[in-house]
Amino acid sequence: MTTHVDGYLRHIMGVCSADSSGAVADYIPELACVDPDGYGLSMCVHDGNVYSQGDSGVTFTIQSISKPLTYALVLSRLGPAQVDARIGVEPSGEAFNEISVDAERRPRNPMINAGAIMAASLLLPPVREVAASTVDSVFGELVEFYSGCAGRYLELDEDVYRSEAQTGARNRAIAYMLDSFGVVDTDPESALDLYYRQCSLRVTTDDLSVIGATIANGGLNPRTGRQIMTQEVAQRVLSVMTTCGMYDGAGDWVTSVGLPAKSGVGGGILAVLPGQLGIGVYSPRLDRHGNSVRGIDTCRHLSTDLGLHMFNLTRESRVTIRATYDIGEFEVGEDWTERERSYLRTSRDRVRVYELQGDLTFSGAEAAMRRLEDDIDRYDVAIVDISRIGIVDPVARTMVLTFKHTLDDRGQRGMVVDPDGVMRASVDRHRNDRVIPDIVAPEALRGFDPTLPHVHATMAEALTDAEAFLLKQRYGPDDGFDGV
Ligand code: GLU
């Protein structure tokens, strides 16, 4: 509740849901029978905590979002040199199902169908006749790998799979064209079969967010603790998602959103903030490129409103809680009466200090405020010491100050120690920015006042303020400070 991340996500969805343009994919009947208004959003942060909103539990077929995963699997199996010899890494600038190869007759990249079918072919044995049972067992390994990324066993949508296989004339054309170039070592039908099956796996936005967080985390699934792919493979996958993930609009996508991403015609989008988090969005109405209309808009808002562009600031990503302790180590203030001092001596554990460090961006603030929220019954006063923080970006500032107001409203107290005035500098620097309007207004707007009470220049001042608060709580406003 109090970190308001769910509130931010809901707000962004509220803004984006106004747009009902686009059309549900209908090249096979199974895709057309979904609820066109379905809309889900999930975010999995670096420690595996998942924020889920809307239809985050609804399943849909993964479709082209499978492409980076199969590419990852093939890289893990064969290593980059062998894979590079067969699949390029250059953006094609063309539609996903373009029959597009380079001068060496390699598909231009693994995110277009030609490259994805090639990647699937590389998982199969290099023989022209592949037994059905072999395709089954390779598919089993593929499902294992995808499920490892999602942290949950993924299932095949049999109906979608059958329809894909029956209607896949264009994909068949791509596979046979590659075969005619002599670059496919296996049976093209088996490669197609594997590709159709991978596209027909069912996922939710929660799954996509965990898959994204796994890739963001260098291949380590933050929920299960299992290393699913190596750091090198994850880096590769992020690179091709950045340059080739969003089809023809890659340049615009990187510039305006700045999150490596992959979309699928099932309506899903997977987006990753490297080192930090994974995002899954679902909304089945597609634009003319085959990307979810609301999904794209949602990613744009997440990037701008939450400052998630991968080139935002010089970030130290795993900021933040350097230490947390109660104030037992600090001497009780000299200026109180003996009665007050003896009370203060018994209540040192009701004041907790949280020392943050690094650049405070969305992810850092999310982690820190979640910690403060988890501890909320352990203190009456929380002192957030940001003296080691270099930069505070607007959304992080809003989160810290909103949390502070939440504490005030609960009858607790939030204080900030900010000797270098980074909060104030942040207010000045971003004075004219559009910072998540309305999300937690009007309380949050109080957070933009740089002359905020309880923002202190030193820890000593904060401690005195904290002690005054405890005394007021204990003895009331009229009876606490005169030694009576
Ligand atoms: N199964 C679809 C195809 O290969 C996937 C397309 C997509 O999601 O972009 O045509």
Cα of 269 from ligand 1 centre, angstroms: 13
**Which atom of ligand 1 lies nearest, measured to the CA of 196?**
1
Q: How far from the centroid of its chain's Cα atoms is residue 199's Cα?
A: 22
Q: How far from the centroid of its chain's Cα atoms is residue 136's Cα?
A: 32
Residue type, 13: M
Taking the domains of the chain in order of start, what are their residue ranges? 7-306, 321-479
Cis amide linkage into residue 36, ω under 30° from 0: no
Element housing 359 (H / E)? strand 351-360
The pLDDT value recorded for residue 429 is 64
What is the set of active-site residues?
A: 64, 67, 195, 247, 265
Q: Is the CB of 113 under 6 A from ligand 1?
A: yes
Query: What would the pLDDT profile of 99-155 be if each residue is shown by its tens digit?
Result: 778 888 899 999 999 999 999 999 999 999 999 999 999 999 999 999 999 999 999
Alpha helix segments (H runs only) across 151-246: 158-167, 169-180, 188-199, 205-216, 231-244
Long-range contact set of residues 302-307: C-beta below 8 Å, sequence gap at least 24: 302/12, 302/43, 302/259, 302/271, 303/256, 303/257, 303/258, 303/259, 304/434, 305/8, 305/12, 305/395, 305/435, 305/436, 306/8, 306/362, 306/395, 306/436, 307/361, 307/362, 307/393, 307/394, 307/395, 307/396
Query: What would the pLDDT profile of 338-391 be if each residue is shown by its tens digit?
Result: 999 999 999 999 999 999 988 888 888 998 999 999 999 999 999 999 999 988
Cα angle 52-8-59, degrees, rounded to a multiple of 5? 25
**Which atom of ligand 1 lies nearest, measured to the CA of 264?**
8
The pLDDT value recorded for residue 404 is 86
pTM: 0.88
Query: What is the pLDDT averaged over residues 399-425?
Result: 88
The pLDDT value recorded for residue 1 is 45
Query: What would the pLDDT profile of 39-55 be if each residue is shown by its tens digit?
Result: 999 999 999 999 999 99
Cα–Cα distance, 188 to 121 (Å, whole number): 7
| Confidence check: pLDDT of 443 > 80 | no
Measured by CA distance, the residue closest to atom 6 of ligand 1 is 64
The pLDDT value recorded for residue 390 is 83
Mean pLDDT over the full length of the chain: 89
What's the token pair of residue 110?
């693994």
Burial class (CB within 10 angstroms; exposed 0-12, middle 13-18, buried 19+) of 10: middle
Q: Is the CB of 63 under 6 A from ligand 1?
A: yes
Residue linked to tokens 């170039």 = 181
- Kindly indicate the confidence band of residue 313, based on its pLDDT and cuts at 50, 70 and 90: low
**Which atom of ligand 1 lies nearest, measured to the CA of 170?**
10
- Tell me the best of 97, 195, 282, 288 to mutate to test the pocket of ligand 1, counting ligand atoms within 8 Å of each CB and taking the most: 97
| Confidence check: pLDDT of 396 > 50 | yes
Cα angle 159-161-165, degrees, rounded to a multiple of 5? 120
Contacts of residue 15, defined as CB under 8 A and 6 or more positions apart, other chains included, come to 301
| Confidence check: pLDDT of 289 > 60 | yes
Cα of 312 from ligand 1 centre, angstroms: 32
Q: Is the CB of 270 under 6 A from ligand 1?
A: no
Residues in a beta bridge with 325: 353
The pLDDT value recorded for residue 248 is 64
Q: Is the CB of 97 under 6 A from ligand 1?
A: yes
The pLDDT value recorded for residue 316 is 58
Write the class of the CATH domain 7-306: alpha beta
Would you report the helix, strand and coil content of the chain in percent, each value rounded to 5? 45, 15, 40
- Kindly indicate the confidence band of residue 442, based on its pLDDT and cuts at 50, 70 and 90: very low
Q: For domain 321-479, give the CATH number.
A: 3.30.750.24
Query: What is the pLDDT averaged over residues 290-319?
Result: 84
Contacts of residue 71, defined as CB under 8 A and 6 or more positions apart, other chains included, come to 83, 87, 110, 111, 115, 116, 119, 236, 237, 240
